[in-house]
Amino acid sequence: MSLNHTAAPPPALSYELYPPRNAEARARAVDVVAELEASGPDYVSVTYNGTPERRRASIELIGHLIEHTRLRPLAHLTCVGETRDSLDRLVNHLVALGVRGVLALRGDQPEGTDPDHPAAYGELPFARYLVELIREVEDRRSASLGAGRLAIGVAAYPTRHPESPSFRHDVEVLLAKERAGANFAITQIYFDAADYTGLVEAARTAGVTIPIVPGIMPVNNERRLLRLCELSGLAPDEGLRARLADAATDAERHRIGVDHAAGLAQAAFDAGAPGLHLYTFNDARGPLDVVRALGLTGAGITDARDGADYGDVHALV
């Protein structure tokens, strides 16, 4: 059964990178970008959070993608702790750089802030308001410049978001983000294929129509699995954890992570997933092995940055 509405074209391929922390990591990130580019992804997303230096590093990495590669960037943007003015300026800055796709997120609150105190969230308490703000900014720009529409992605959660009262509530939030102007969603990592199909089914029943792209990460050691779960508020998959813990060599652990991720991706494709978003942690080897295992190549690079067809995920960003 196909649960997604846009199943006809081959799945779109994308990767997530985070900004490098220092000069050495910057040089490594440039190599990783080159390796990923060779696999022909449709777009590459860059995370955004932390200190002003980290945020600047995100924008620098986006600048690198635009100036030195043929990759289309998807810039993550968070509204937590921001003002409408600062976000307005940032969106305009990204557009001026050449960004045409934004992942609109609330972001995690800085440690120590009181979640019951609304001021902690800044002027826009939820991602949905950021989507609205981006549409307002682009409407103003279009009036003066005739610029095209941005592709706006949002987060979706196959298992309940840690702050949410229920999975059903998360689905309603996703619908609200679509109604605010989002074009597509990328999921949080998940470990069980049924979590993705369950989300898509519940979302379609609720009236969500945008493509929902599975976000998957090949996890190649137990420590990383636990850290990932801690960061995203997920319960670790005990089967995967045990297999990684029991493996004797790095090569075996690598293979376990790749096989698990490729299995999740294949199950999502079988259910009609319109794309695959691979979390890389700035390490190309696992994600590229998943792509090879699936026999997948992206079509985005040949579409070029200004490909005008907005009909499927390939051309969205």
Interaction of residue 200 with ligand FAD, rule CB under 6 A: no
Count residues binding ligand FAD (CB under 6 A): 23
The residue (of 177 and 253) whose beta carbon lies closer to ligand FAD is 177
Footprint of ligand FAD on 130-169 (CB under 6 A)? 155, 161, 163-164, 169
The Cα–Cα gap between 292 and 281 comes to: 18
DSSP element (H, E) containing 151: strand 151-156
- Nearest approach, Cβ of 125 to ligand FAD (angstroms)? 7
Site string for ligand FAD, 30-49 (x = CB under 6 A): -----------------xxx
Q: Which residues, including other chains, have CB under 8 Å from residue 159's CB and lie 6 or more apart?
A: 167, 188, 190, 195, 234, 235
Q: Categorise residue 91: left if φ over 0, alpha if ψ from -120 to 50, beta otherwise.
A: alpha
The residue (of 180 and 296) whose beta carbon lies closer to ligand FAD is 180
Distances in whole angstroms, Cα of residue 240 to Cα of each of 185, 218, 228: 26, 11, 13
- Nearest approach, Cβ of 31 to ligand FAD (angstroms)? 22
State the alpha helices, DSSP H only, in 271-304.
285-294, 300-303
| Phi, then psi, of 17 in degrees rounded to 5 | -120, 155
Interaction of residue 106 with ligand FAD, rule CB under 6 A: yes
Interaction of residue 306 with ligand FAD, rule CB under 6 A: no
Footprint of ligand FAD on 108-127 (CB under 6 A)? 108, 126-127
241 exposure class (CB count in 10 Å sphere: 0-12, 13-18, 19+): middle
Which stretches of 171-301 are assigned E, i.e. beta strand?
184-187, 212-213, 215-216, 275-279
The residue (of 95 and 105) whose beta carbon lies closer to ligand FAD is 105
The residue (of 108 and 259) whose beta carbon lies closer to ligand FAD is 108
Interaction of residue 186 with ligand FAD, rule CB under 6 A: yes
Q: Which stretch binds ligand FAD (CB under 6 A): 2-10, 100-108, 142-150, 204-212?
A: 100-108
Binding site for ligand FAD (CB under 6 A): 47-49, 76, 78, 103, 105-108, 126-128, 155, 161, 163-164, 169-170, 173, 186, 188, 215
